[in-house]
Structure 1
Amino acid sequence: MPRLIFFCGHAGTGKTTLAHKLIGPLMQATGEPFCLLDKDTLYGRYSAAAMRAITGDPNDRDSPAYLDNLRDPEYEGLLDTARENLMLGISVIVVGPLSREIRAHQLTDPSWLRVPEGTQTHVVWVHLPESEAQARIVRRGNPNDAYKLAHWDAYRTRRFLPEPAEYPELIYFDNVAPQEADVNRLLAALAA
């Protein structure tokens, strides 16, 4: 059966970079085809057009207008696309914060996910301390982060670190300065 692997975490933690690093080795280790679904890639242009129409700011990805109008439909579409690939027997890597879904323990609930029976699901929580994540966001210079940076005090209230005892379904990955051995351990866990 196919695999569904989520790379989740707050902005600037390196979710996409880590997923890109692991997709090739995962295909080699498992002998399975994978597709990578990054929320920003799938919905970035659409969201820019929609937010231009709603707020006049095509780069807004964090205001109440975005969160109220686009956030949930983007994630629903992301999961619909993942589901369709899984039904075709293609394993899927999904990249996105998905923090609300993490808090509700939904990403390992097959009935909530509506994935084919037997789908092997893993959720990787990619973590960085807030100060390092903020510094990385500043360094990457993505215009989509402007609202978040300008309203950091409001954004930071949504940041959280899931406690392992409360979220045993998560695979935690500290992305401050991972060594090759750390990445290899993660690969082994996901390919098992």
Structure 2
Amino acid sequence: MTTQPDPRDELQRGTSALVIAQTIRNDIQSGRLAHGRQLPGTRALAESWNTSVATINRAMGILAEEGLVINRARSSRIVHNPAGAPSKAGPRIILIGGYPGSGKTELGRIIARQTGWAILDKDTTTRPVVEAALERLGQSPHDRESETYLTAIRPAEYEALIAALTENLQCGVSVIVTAPFVKELRDEAWCDRLAATVTTHGGTLQVIWVRCDPDTMHTYIRRRGAARDDYKLAHWTKYVKGLEFVFEPRIPYVSVDNSAGARPLQEQAKGLLSEMAVA
């Protein structure tokens, strides 16, 4: 049996091999370091941990004994955690966009109920923090139109939402994400990054754009009575003129119609899941 190094001795030289091993072990078992991933070289790891090559080798030795790391030639090592690998099908990501009042959140909830997958709605996830930040910046907590919101707050909202999406991916968890995504889905580079992130983690991406006529949207927005919609309702004609009702995302997508008279969302959701071969 290999004798473990005394952490008191290693702390004199820098970060302990036991601490490094524990941190990397946690990253492997939590899915941050996926099964089959190649770890950086010994010297690169030593630099990132601000420690010696010898300490890194001791940490890697601990992980190798546990079977979590496989050593290969020339200090090359790969993560070995087949039990933590995602299922063969991989996690599914359904990203649902649409203008406010289009019914995207309702569609997301319906799909979540049909699949049992997690749902991340932008307003539910970020609203309390957004409102607090706007107040600290001297704005109304319900502002969604000013330059302050659009340039200082909104980018952080979406960054947090995608970070939560990515964390679910790393854990192999299928998730439904709902937000307007208007700016994002017309940005080809953003769409490419999203697709690459999902693919990197072995997932499958389905983008849905929810369409809705202005009268039905107006009814939905008025009925939900959210303070953040006050400006839209007070300037409805001007607001609607600024919407792009023939909007086409810069990524493969499917369209769902939630206008009055359209097929019920539950039926459309069931059809989408059938096409995705989701039981």
Common fold, TM-score beyond 0.5?
Answer: yes
Task: Name the SS for the 1:40 alignment partner.
Answer: helix
Tell me by how many angstroms 1:62 deviates. 2.7
In the TM superposition, what whole-angstrom CA distance separates every residue of 1:33-54 from its partner, at most 9, and x where no partner exists?
x221111011110111111222
1:79–1:119 distance in 2 versus 1, CA, 3 Å: same
User: Relative contact order (alpha carbons < 8 A, sep ≥ 6): 1 or 2 greater?
Assistant: 1
C-alpha distance in 2, partners of 1:140/1:130? 15
> Residues 172, 108 of structure 1: CA spacing in aligned structure 2 closer, same or farther, 3 A cutoff?
same
Q: 1:64 to 1:134 in 2, by over 3 A?
A: farther
- The one-letter code sitting in structure 2 at the alignment partner of 1:149 is L
User: Which range moves more in the overlay, 134-143 or 54-63?
Assistant: 54-63
1:13 aligns with 2:102: yes
Q: Does 1:40 align with 2:126?
A: no
Matched, 1:101 2:189: no
Q: Is the 8 A contact 1:127 1:175 kept in 2?
A: yes
CA distance in structure 2 between the aligned counterparts of 1:145 and 1:188, rounded to whole angstroms: 35
Q: Does 1:54 align with 2:143?
A: no
Residues 49-97 of structure 1: per-residue CA shift (max 9 Å, x gap): 1112224311112332211111111001100110011011011110000
Closer, same or farther in 2 for the Cα pair 1:60/1:150, shift >3 Å? same
User: How many Å separate the matches in 2 of 1:168 and 1:54?
Assistant: 35
Could you tell me which runs of 5 or more consecutive residues in structure 1 were left unpaired when the two chains were aligned. 28-33
Question: Are 1:145 and 2:195 an aligned pair?
Answer: no
**Post-superposition shift, 1:154?**
5.0
**Deviations for 1:103-153, whole angstroms, at most 9, x for unmatched residues?**
124565256652334310001111101222122111211111112323445
Runs of 5+ unmatched residues, structure 2: 1-89
Cα RMSD after superposing both structures: 2.4
Superposition pairs of residues 20-99 of structure 1, within 5 angstroms: 20-27=109-116, 34-99=117-182
Q: Which moved more, 1:94-103 or 1:55-64?
A: 55-64
Q: Secondary structure at the match of 2:137?
A: helix
Judged with a 3 Å threshold, the aligned counterparts in structure 2 of structure 1 residues 153 and 64 are, in CA distance, closer, same or farther, namely: farther
In structure 2, the residue matched to 1:161 is 245
Distance of aligned partners of 1:53 and 1:169 in 2 relative to their CA distance in 1, 3 Å threshold: same
1:106 touches 1:112 (CA, 8 Å); kept in 2? no
Which residue type is aligned with residue 186 of structure 1? L
* 2:169 maps to amino acid: L
Per-residue CA deviation, residues 9-39 of structure 1 (Å, 9 max, x unaligned), is: 0000111111111112123xxxxxx221111
How many Å separate the matches in 1 of 2:176 and 2:149?
24
1:170 aligns to what?
A: 253
Which is greater in Rg? 2
Give the structure 1 partner of residue 268 of structure 2: 182
SS at match of 1:4: strand
Name the CA shift for 1:63/1:150 in 2 (closer, same or farther; >3 Å): farther
Partner SS, residue 97 of structure 1: coil
Separation (CA, whole Å) in 2 of partners of 1:15 and 1:134: 14
Q: Secondary structure at the match of 1:109?
A: helix
**SS of structure 2 residue aligned to 1:24:** helix
Q: Distance in 2 between matches of 1:18 and 1:4?
A: 14
Cα pair 2:101 2:220 within 8 Å, conserved: yes
Counterparts of residues 124-139 of structure 1 (less than 5 Å)? 124-139=208-223
Contact kept? 2:185, 2:251, Cα under 8 Å: no
